[in-house]
């Protein structure tokens, strides 16, 4: 739950943005885009890691199946 100060800050920002002709939701969306752009290296590293892990799991699964067939 937001504190009184957080609610007040939001109201101030909303009013200042309104004066500038900017919708609050549009402004927040832009912040999300900026955050993702600023952290795209971390995001790509995490995705690459996930892909590598899946490839390794698939390879291990193939090795187990291959080993089972030869027994």
pLDDT tens-digit readout, 44-69: 999 999 999 999 999 888 887 777 66
Output the six-digit token pair for 12.
């101030």
Average pLDDT over residues 28-46: 97
Instruction: Of 20, 42, 6, give the one whose Cα is nearest residue 30.
Output: 20
Instruction: Give dist(CA 29, CA 36) in Å, integer.
Output: 11
Those residues whose C-beta lies under 8 Å from the C-beta of residue 13, and which sit 6 or more positions away, are 24, 27
pTM: 0.62
């Amino acid at each position: 739950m937001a504190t009184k100060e957080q609610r007040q800050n939001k109201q101030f920002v909303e009013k200042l943005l309104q004066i500038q002709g900017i919708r609050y939701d549009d402004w927040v969306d832009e912040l999300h885009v900026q955050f993702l752009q600023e952290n795209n290296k971390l995001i790509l590293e995490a995705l690459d890691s996930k892909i590598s892990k899946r490839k390794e799991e698939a390879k291990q699964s193939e090795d187990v199946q291959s080993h089972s067939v030869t027994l």
